[in-house]
Amino acid sequence: MSTSSISLSLMAALMLSAGLLLGCSEKPAESAAAVADSATTTAPQSGKPETALPALIDTQATAETRALYRNLAKLRYKHLLFGHEDSLAYGVHWEGDMDRSDVRDVTGANPAVYGWELGGLELGHTANLDAVNFEKMQHWIKAGYSRGGVITISWHVFNPVSGGNSWDKTPAVHELIPGGARHATLKAYLDTFVAFNEGLADVDAQGNKHYPPIIFRPWHEHNGDWFWWGKGHASEQDYIALWRFTVHYLRDEKKLRNLIYAYSPDRSRIDMANFEAGYLYGYPGDAYVDIIGLDNYWDVGHEANTASADEQKAALTASLKQLVQIARSKGKIAALTETGNNRLTIDNFWTERLLGPISADADASEIAYVMVWRNANLAREKSEQFFAPFPGQATADDFKRFYQSEVVLFEDELPPLYR
């Protein structure tokens, strides 16, 4: 590790410690804006100005989409954006409010990154598999974008062969890719996303349409065996063909210019002793990916992980360090695209089990954002599933300390990301 990397690690640790000691103190308002407004980016691994920022795979992407990617690339060296799935749609103890979030109820601020899910859109449903109405979702996406937030979308596509949900393991990928018997079905499914995206457009006074940039994360966790497009139900070659066709169809044929494509294997199926090889299983190629993502619930207290807390923290740091190194070698941005501890059963989860391991290494701390999963509505779903705190929840105070960290950015602290 270089001297500059060691210095950055020490600085990150000191910043984290200072943030915890300050408690309710405010963080400097100018720090994030100063990073985003700088003309060049300083790469900690070299200490030298980095003038060539990563470029999107869509060379004709909208100006706003290019700006978002560029600004995330700049911010990643000093800041981490926090995200939450379905944050505006419902909370553990509320549903139906059009301007509310469990995250904001606790901290006074919305998440910087809004995660949304399209499962069921492909079948013409009016709501997704978590009962979020698609028209309302479009409203929430536009609202979050109008405030400067970041939008990311995943898609638990129903199985086109069996008619079951994403967890129905009936093989289907081989029939969907070019040359397959159900290739037209894949196109029809993707067309529903094209129509959904069209519903996000705003028209200016000159009649020009403007679309919110979207970090699009299809066919995720493919190295696991729980989805029909996953390992064991589709060959690696067929999965790659599925991903590449998805990009070609949306970008080149349908001309969607507001998408940033995120690739996200699952950590639990990657051997830490051979991380890169495991991570790149099914990788479609640098020309088809913008964000090198990782879904990691395993190292943050997953109930099936019997490793000690210290071992899990070390593994989280190591996985993110190697993730960033892969992203750097490919000229991409890295992100922790899904994570969280269900029901938040760990004391000081936010500062000690999440932010601590991220900040412990100069490379690991270069991830652009971290997103935790949803807070299921208890009355409707009759089960406890939540990944962000709500008022009175045991980790709420620690979550406030997480919010107050100089490293972490919520929506109210974001610099302009779209210019």
The whole-angstrom separation of Cα 416 and Cα 419 is 7
The whole-angstrom separation of Cα 288 and Cα 306 is 36
Give me the amino acid identity at 125.
H
Bridge-based pairing of strands 214-217 and 209-210 is unpaired
Q: CB of 220 within 8 A of CB of 295? A: yes
SS3 for 11-30 is HHHHHHHHHHHHCCCCCCCC
* Annotation says 117 is catalytic: no
Kindly name the residue from 64, 85, 338, 413 that is annotated as catalytic: 338
The whole-angstrom separation of Cα 194 and Cα 199 is 9
* Annotation says 175 is catalytic: no
Give me the amino acid identity at 409.
L
Bridge-based pairing of strands 80-85 and 291-296 is unpaired
Kindly name the residue from 221, 366, 411, 413 that is annotated as catalytic: 221
- Residue carrying structure tokens 């395993």: 298
The whole-angstrom separation of Cα 80 and Cα 337 is 12
Look up residue 55 and give its two tokens.
Answer: 């470029």
Q: Looking at the annotation, which residues are catalytic? A: 221, 338
